[in-house]
Amino acid sequence: MDYSAAGPRGMGEAVEARPEDGDKKAFSDALNRLSNYSLAQIIQAGHEALLKDLVARVNSGTASHQEKAILRNMLRDNGMTMGVPPAGTGPGQSDPGPALPDLPAYSND
């Protein structure tokens, strides 16, 4: 970690070095490759990559409390707080279940 007190972050807090900070060409190439995909594909890939990264950090014991909260929120937002949902129940694949009976009609008599 870089404990530099200079720059906009200042205040002397620890700043983790990001691998892509030193390699602008690799970032530019990755960005250009994304132009071949639809927005839905990019969102799916980003969701998957973030989930893998967060789970790996939690499993290795290196996740910060913020990363754990992000993972918890991702799981909650995707309905996985009580276990992995059954196959075929993802976004756009959910089964509406059995039809509910009609409500009885009431009159104002």
**Backbone phi and psi for residue 42, each to the nearest 5 degrees, phi listed first:** -65, -45
Q: What is the pTM of this model?
A: 0.50
**According to DSSP H, which parts of 35-86 are helical?**
39-60, 65-77
Any idea which residue has 């909260």 for tokens? 69
What pLDDT band is residue 91 in, cutting at 50, 70 and 90? Answer: low
- Residue ranges per domain, the chain? 1-36, 37-81
Q: Give 75's contacts (C-beta < 8 A, 6+ positions apart).
A: 81
Query: What pLDDT shows up at residue 94?
Result: 59
Cα distance between residue 19 and residue 54, in whole Å: 17
**Backbone phi and psi for residue 25, each to the nearest 5 degrees, phi listed first:** -65, -45
What pLDDT band is residue 5 in, cutting at 50, 70 and 90? Answer: very low
* pLDDT per position as a tens digit, 14-72: 445 455 455 788 888 888 888 888 998 888 888 899 999 999 999 999 999 999 999 99
Over range 96-104, report the average pLDDT.
77
